[in-house]
Amino acid sequence: MQFDITSMEIDPSLADPLDLAGRADLLDELDLLLAGHRSPPTDLLRRAEALRARVEAIDSALADDLRGRIVAGALPPAGLRAELRRYVTGSADGGRDRDDQYDSLDLLLGRALGLAAPAGQIAELPPGMVAYQPTPARWLLDLPERAGITPMDTFVDIGAGLGQVAILAALLSGARAIGIEIEPAYVAVARRSADLLGLGHVSFRCEDVLSADLSAGTVFYLYTPLVGELLGQLLARLRREAAARPIRVCAYGPCVPVIVAQDWLRQAARCGPMIILTT
pLDDT of residue 35: 83
pLDDT of residue 114: 94
Q: What distance in Å separates the CA atoms of residue 108 and residue 164, rounded to the nearest whole number? A: 12
For the chain of 279 residues, list the mean pLDDT of each consecutive stretch of 10: 82 95 93 81 88 96 98 97 91 50 94 91 93 95 97 98 98 98 97 97 98 98 98 98 98 97 98 97
Q: What distance in Å separates the CA atoms of residue 231 and residue 225, rounded to the nearest whole number? A: 8
Q: What distance in Å separates the CA atoms of residue 273 and residue 98, rounded to the nearest whole number? A: 10
Q: How crowded is residue 256: how many other Cβ atoms within 10 Å of its Cβ?
A: 17
pLDDT of residue 219: 99
Q: What angle do CA 83, 50, 19 make, to 5 degrees?
A: 25
pLDDT of residue 90: 61
For residues 173 and 150, is the Cβ–Cβ distance under 8 A?
A: yes
DSSP annotation of 126 reads P
Q: Residue 67 is inside which H or E element, if any?
A: helix 42-71
